[in-house]
Amino acid sequence: MKDDTKSRKAALAAHLKAAVMTLKLRPGDDLDEAQLSEAFGLSRTPLREVFRHLAGLGYLELRENRGARVSQMSYATLRDFFLVAPMIYGAVLRLAAQNATGDQIDRLKAAQAAFRETLRAGSAEDRALANNQFHEITGEMAANVYLLPSFQRLLIDHARIGMTFYRPDQAGMGESLDLACDQHDAIIAAIEARDEAAAGQLAADHWALSRDQIELFVTPAGLDLPLGSVERG
């Protein structure tokens, strides 16, 4: 019975993580405890244990007497994200080049193969989750108790920002995804070679690609109107 409860808790945690990162649960959404309890066969105590765990990782916020909700995103959140993302990504990949184990490198290669497959046949949600898995493994490789919580929260919001501004019809989207995939391959090679400098530079390059795409997505397309076509009041 204990193992069954543990597996149900793990299933609920995985479901909520994916739903938050792909915006099936949007920032600020309240969680329906009764619905989740019934869907996953969990009583209130193990359900709330999962909520507390995910709140500690940054997926949820817990409010006294008001239940759990998806962690918010605000102007301040976005400002902090853009400020610290390049520093955290750089530190993670440099430490990954120092500390990665052979098993972790094999897992990173498998995650990259899964990400590449989503470029051929996956949805935007599939790509977001596969990309997140790749970077989560680099965080494990870094093996730093102070850095990992910040990196995990960064990945959550990076996935959500990407899903918010993803436009499949945007010019150059396919080329950018291919370049991101190629950069993943280069990151693996740098980590496997224990090349901290190369890993750090790749972190900067990878972040720059992501930042440029996000900035492009939030810039509205201009109205294609000939001069003089707007009626004056």
Is the domain of 98 the same as that of 22?
no
The answer to whether position 227 is within a domain reads no
Q: Is 90 exceeded by the pLDDT of residue 3?
A: no
CATH code (residue 186): 1.20.120.530
Encode pLDDT of 33-66 as tens digits.
Answer: 999 999 999 999 999 999 999 999 999 999 887 8
Q: Is 70 exceeded by the pLDDT of residue 222?
A: no
What is the model's pLDDT at position 223?
47
Is the domain of 118 the same as that of 13?
no
Instruction: Out of 70, 97, 128, pick the residue that ends a domain.
Output: 70
Report d(CA 106, CA 110) in Å as an integer. 6
Is the domain of 95 the same as that of 204?
yes
Is the domain of 199 the same as that of 85?
yes
Is the domain of 126 the same as that of 46?
no
Domain count across the chain: 2
Question: Could you tell me if residue 58 is left (phi over 0), alpha (psi between -120 and 50 degrees) or otherwise beta?
Answer: left
The answer to whether position 132 is within a domain reads yes
Q: How confident is the model at residue 172 (pLDDT cuts 50, 70, 90)?
A: low
Is the domain of 46 the same as that of 159?
no
Encode pLDDT of 68-113 as tens digits.
Answer: 999 998 888 888 999 999 999 999 999 999 999 999 999 999 999 9
Report d(CA 123, CA 139) in Å as an integer. 25
Whole-prediction pTM value?
0.85
Amino acid in position 26: R
What is the model's pLDDT at position 212?
78
Average pLDDT over residues 124-146: 96
Is the domain of 9 the same as that of 106?
no
Report d(CA 108, CA 38) in Å as an integer. 35
Report d(CA 93, CA 198) in Å as an integer. 9
CATH code (residue 43): 1.10.10.10
Is the domain of 59 the same as that of 109?
no
Percent share of the chain, pLDDT over 90: 72
Instruction: Out of 35, 50, 70, pick the residue that ends a domain.
Output: 70
Is the domain of 83 the same as that of 116?
yes
Is the domain of 32 the same as that of 108?
no
What is the model's pLDDT at position 2?
66
The answer to whether position 52 is within a domain reads yes
Instruction: Out of 52, 70, 88, pick the residue that ends a domain.
Output: 70
| Residue 202, domain extent | 75-218
Is the domain of 154 the same as that of 42?
no
Q: Which residue has the tokens 């909700």?
A: 69
The answer to whether position 95 is within a domain reads yes
DSSP conformation letters of the chain = -HHHHHHHHHHHHHHHHHHHHTTSS-TTPBP-HHHHHHHHT--HHHHHHHHHHHHHHTSEEEETTTEEEEPP--HHHHHHHHHHHHHHHHHHHHHHHHH--HHHHHHHHHHHHHHHHHHHH--HHHHHHHHHHHHHHHHHHH--TTHHHHHHHHHHHHHHHHHHH--TTSTTHHHHHHHHHHHHHHHHHHHHTT-HHHHHHHHHHHHHHHHHHHHHHHSPPPP---TT-SPP-
Q: What is the mean pLDDT of the chain?
A: 89
Phi and psi of 58, rounded to 5°?
A: 105, 5
